[in-house]
Chains A and B, each alone.
Chain A
């Protein structure tokens, strides 16, 4: 059978990187193909070539066996290829309806045909099983609904090939289930679908075939039902899964270094109390929007608490801004690496030393650059940051290495409490394992860690105790002994039912 789309021998170079090396990639009618690989393996580049964003340096694209060349996204769309990018392409200030038909409005003469557009939009939303008000500005929708609008937008076109880049990262379990139903439906209608995700269980659940990329090369193509998760991970990273677990060598002491007592504050944090012991990893679990990040921000003074106390080494302290928390040795690593952690245009060196410029300053407030460089090279080698030099701008680094730069900044402060907010989000398996190792090593050395993560396996693998948050409140604090993901999810869901009942 001739594949619907066949990419043959695709190569692409960017300055300094060989992003794709002779990659073959086929798509068949009525099939879901999973595209897997670490960050930087070339998945996005390959998809951008398929959708006409980039032109390949070598290789060709065949459509039902005939060569085609796309010079723009519109070209590819006309052929029937639609992509849902990882970052949304929606205008937050204009309505759902306007977003759906942006750039391809339906007209009657010169005026817009709102009636027809509204009809079409309603039809597609009811097909997707969501009820989204068409006049609402997109920015006011939840991230999950925005994702649905993005999907609806793609389906409005005459689609034959649909590429979904991390479509589930913002969705809840329920919404993911709905999305999968839609994918199965589309598949039955004969669409060829590409599904890109970091979540292996989803890939195994929904795909028919899996193509694995590593360092710009195609490692292999397998039928999903013939392979195990371990084998896939091995293909992706080139080594065995068992190498990835890190173990603690010491137990936390009984000494409480930080306690939070009935902390409340905007937007919806209420009566949060917990304490962390020296050398302890306290995992913080909860759904997106449970209030974990906000709790951390209230703690370090980035947001103003309305009530509650924070005690460091039994002394009550009130942080007016993060700078004060930092000078007390409490460091926060943000969940949003690009927007809230890194100064992308600055160098690796400048990003690492950012929080300790006071310590590096001498007479006349000048920065001792020799000391600065020495310190940076120490963290670069200790955290194994892969960069040509410390003068490299961080925006040119891969996600994992960027994250290590931020971790380097945190460690340079020599904190005794480290708040890590989604420290492994969006980084590949190898880097993840290294970050896990760094976390356990730090705890072994007596640093107390508050670990916020949406990945329960991560929380369970690393934490001494687990705090479960939901809707701005602490629901439970549990010893991590024989604790399972199901137990944690049950706590969250049970409380959800209760709060419905009380409402």
Chain B
């Protein structure tokens, strides 16, 4: 029993989890409405969107790469799926088209990064711009409306009182955890992030795995992009703008190292929760929205500083 307790406290995530609890307590004192079921419903749904994108980003960051194109890919897959639905293609097929479209861009990212050897930052920065431009070309800047009402349940409905996007987040989390913890793929990914050259020479197919993670990352982004269509009852051309930074921030706050090789699913979830709850709390406490952005910035750097201190003590 004692060892279980010890293990819990020794875990990498325990410090930020404690921070999350303190944060929730603090907000609750100043804005008791925070813990009302209607607010928790909203805030958990908001968190789930960022969390799913951040999960995809986690795979990429673990390899010491970065994916800046997730926001644009989100938007594009939503536009593809919505456009398909509106033009009468069955919903299931439309969703599939949206996912495939997003994954195709991830595939292009992956090929350029792992087989052509261009830096991830450059490739995905280019893709960020390319995908956003494609959205504007396809929509001419107008939102796509008249989404079939049955589809909206994915973004707006709930099961057992929990929003469907939260369920999707949980499934994505379990799948990611399984992949990272129990499979050879996950072990190899951590090895690549820890020392790519060593992984390569010891017989790990580095290029293939890197290709896979950029596809995974764009898949996660596409899923969220499509759910957001259902959530807002339309596909907006600016959906996902700036989300790559939120996704990266969630991962970093959750203790993921940008130099690769360390980071967990639980950490990413807590990181996304901290960001979502702070935003929500500031709104409830009637703090100016201008302050929100500034405070999130402080939190990101603070998280990195705490991680640094913790690592130093360990070494």
Contacts and interface: CB of A to CB of B under 8 A. Distances in A.
A213 to B, nearest CB: 24
B194 A345 contact: yes
Contacts of A364: 183
Interface residues of B, number: 23
Given A365-B184, A367-B187, A321 B200 contact: yes
| Most chain A beta-carbon contacts within 10 A, residue among B187, B197, B207 | B187
Contacts of A346: 190-191, 194
A358 interface: yes
Contacts of A357: 184, 187-188
A423 to B, nearest CB: 14
A392 interface: no
12 contacts: A300-B201, A321-B206, A327-B203, A340-B198, A341-B202, A344-B194, A344-B195, A346-B194, A350-B190, A350-B191, A365-B184, A367-B182
Interface in A344-386: 344-346, 350, 354-355, 357-358, 360-361, 364-367
B43 interface: no
Chain A residues touching B, range: 20 to 34
B199 A343 contact: yes
A397 to B, nearest CB: 15
Contacts of A355: 202-204
A341 B201 contact: yes
A403 B156 CA distance: 57
**Interface SS of chain B:** helix
A323 interface: yes
B205 A323 contact: yes
A329 to B, nearest CB: 11
Interface of B: 182-185, 187-188, 190-191, 194-195, 197-207, 261-262
Contacts of A19: none
B199 to A, nearest CB: 7
A205 B183 CA distance: 55
A409 B195 CA distance: 15
A112 to B, nearest CB: 33
A326 B202 contact: yes
A98 to B, nearest CB: 27
A289 to B, nearest CB: 19
Nearest to A327: B203
A116 to B, nearest CB: 40
B204 A340 contact: no
Contacts of B185: 365
Contacts of A345: 194, 261-262
Contact of B183 (A339, A340, A350, A366): A366
A342 B203 contact: no
Contacts of B188: 357
A343 B182 contact: no
